[in-house]
Amino acid sequence: MDKKEKPDLAKKVHEVPHKPGVYLMRDRFNRVIYVGKARDLRKRVGSYFMPSKVAQADIKTRAMLDAVWDFETHTVQSEPESILLEGKLIKEYRPRYNISFRDDKRFLVVKVDPTEEWPRFRLARFKKDDGARYFGPYAHAGALRQTLNFMRKKFGVLTFGRGSPTERELKSATYQVPTRLSEISAELYRERVAQACDFLEGHSREMITAVEDEMHKAAEKLDFEKAADLRNMLEDLRRTTKPTRRFTRHSLPSSIDPASDVQALADALQLPRLPVVMECFDISNISTTHVVASMVCFRNGVPDKDNYRRYRIRTVEGQDDFASMAEVVRRRYSRVLLGIAESRRGDKPESAEEAVALSAAEFSQENPSEIAERLASQNNPQSEIRNPKFTSVRLPDLIIVDGGKGQLSSACRELQRLGLHELPIIGLAKEYEEIYRPGRALPLVLPPDSGALRLLQRIRDEAHRFANTYHQLLMKKRIGESILDDCPGVSQNRKNLLLRKFGSVNRLRKATVEQIAATEGIGPKLAQEVHRFLERH
């Protein structure tokens, strides 16, 4: 029997991605002897094979490394998911070098006992058959604790501790919704508990919408600190109320394989051809002052950043995601149609409508999609990606809009007006990752570990990041363009302090000298100067 050759593990480490995930150490008999999680797999796994680290390792770690013959890694989307997967694998394999997953530690649940006179919401590790109500489990402990803080303020319910409210809790303004605990009976308090339970059961959409509205108002008033706090609160609420993804052994997340994911997406959506070029749209409207959109392009499953586009919404008043999506889709593909006509005729039509009319007149058997495909095939395939004019005649193989039925319908109407009704298009709804398709009443739901879904999520998340980056840039620019720039003695920092306190220049105009002087960093003399300057301008 030939002796099995041990892999070069130090060399294999260089193939591990800088991604969150889990790693499994195996011995020469291919048995799993250790499971660990990491925020950065390459850094963590690589540390095991650095001579300096090995020399400083404890006895258990050195013994494990002596037994390690090979390792494998599995990437996930986030660190909380790596905790979930680590726990599942340790419970499945029971590796001898793991400490039974920290004494069989489980994820947190929220417990409330309705038999108590003043029920409290508390954290627990296990669900018991004791008559109490349990919610969870929740993967992200930090987000869960912040959500309990939110519930304490929003619903006025008691969290942590035991028994009836203390003297301090009875008088605390924290529990004033709208009256303090000292002014209500235990029976009325139970109504607060019922509302909080509804929230934890998932009836949180209205609550999240209310927080979003408050965030938008804070951003419009240039109160960016409050807007940021509310944004963080939203993330915690969504993390807590989002259903936990579950993993099974036969469907472990694997490293990203763009080509495989593109093929999986084509199969899942039953597309006529591989979606080599995909374009995804996202709307960012944290304030009505600057509603912006992004379009990101993926080619062969990876970002094609040279062909990203960003837009300021021009024709929509207020916050209207449907109308904003319609505008940006119309502008994007009107520009593509103009490029198609220009490439064919040599001169540029005056409008997209003229380009569509020319297409119908000159090639009555071809629609705009077929014309674009024919023109694209005339380009040198070796220079497609490097040719800047290629994108002006290249329609995508798949369009993705961030949103559900409403955003999808708005985008489809614009494509039909442009004669592009045959272009494949889908909507990806965030909350439950449902895929909406034109003419289909029910959404398509792909398995959480599907390569097709992970590819769509990467595209959607990139579009969201790109839109938010542009939005932040415009908000900073808005502050920088203030009339206060011309006021003597007002530096950029002082200008930010004034706008943060008063919300706008118009409100600052109405303030008295004393009110202006009360601003941090603004003394009486400068306050007088600012007041005089705004009266003159």
* Section 410-432 average pLDDT: 89
User: Do 307 and 365 fall into the same domain?
Assistant: yes
The pLDDT tens digits of the residues spanning 32-41 come to 889 888 888 9
Residue 476 within any structural domain of the chain: no
Write out the residue range of the structural domain in which residue 362 sits. Answer: 258-468
Q: Which pLDDT belongs to residue 299?
A: 95
Can you read off the two tokens belonging to residue 68?
Answer: 């390690």
Q: Which pLDDT belongs to residue 242?
A: 56
Q: Which residue, 104, 131, 163, sits at the end of a domain?
A: 104
Q: Which pLDDT belongs to residue 477?
A: 58
Can you read off the two tokens belonging to residue 368?
Answer: 């705009």
In the beta sheet, which residues pair with residue 138? 108
In the beta sheet, which residues pair with residue 311? 293
Residue pair 177/154 in contact by the 8 Å Cβ criterion: yes
* Section 236-253 average pLDDT: 50
Residue 360: is its pLDDT beyond 60?
no
Q: Give me the percent of the chain exceeding a pLDDT of 70.
A: 75
User: Do 508 and 460 fall into the same domain?
Assistant: no
Residue 253 within any structural domain of the chain: no
Q: Is 250 helix (H, G, I), strand (E, B) or coil?
A: helix
Q: Which pLDDT belongs to residue 298?
A: 96
Residue 290 — very low, low, confident or very high, per pLDDT cuts 50/70/90? low
Looking up residue 526, the CATH number of its domain turns out to be 1.10.150.20
Residue 295 — very low, low, confident or very high, per pLDDT cuts 50/70/90? very high
Q: What is the 3-state secondary structure (H, E, C) of 195-226?
A: HHHHHHCCCCHHHHHHHHHHHHHHHHCCCHHH
The pLDDT tens digits of the residues spanning 463-490 come to 988 888 886 777 665 654 467 777 888 8
Dist CA 219 CA 496 (whole Å): 14
Dist CA 35 CA 16 (whole Å): 16
Number of structural domains the chain divides into: 4
Describe the chain by its helix, strand, coil percentages, rounded to 5.
50, 15, 35
Residue 28: is its pLDDT beyond 90?
no
Residue 1 within any structural domain of the chain: no
Dist CA 431 CA 208 (whole Å): 12
Dist CA 37 CA 20 (whole Å): 8
Residue 327: is its pLDDT beyond 90?
yes
* Section 387-397 average pLDDT: 62
- The overall longest dimension of the chain from CA atoms, in Å, is 95
CA 144 to chain centre: 18
Residue 302 within any structural domain of the chain: yes
Dist CA 513 CA 524 (whole Å): 7
Tally of CA atoms within 13 A in the half-sphere of 123 that contains its CB: 15
What is the DSSP code (8-state) at residue 410?
A: H
Q: What is the mean pLDDT of the chain?
A: 78
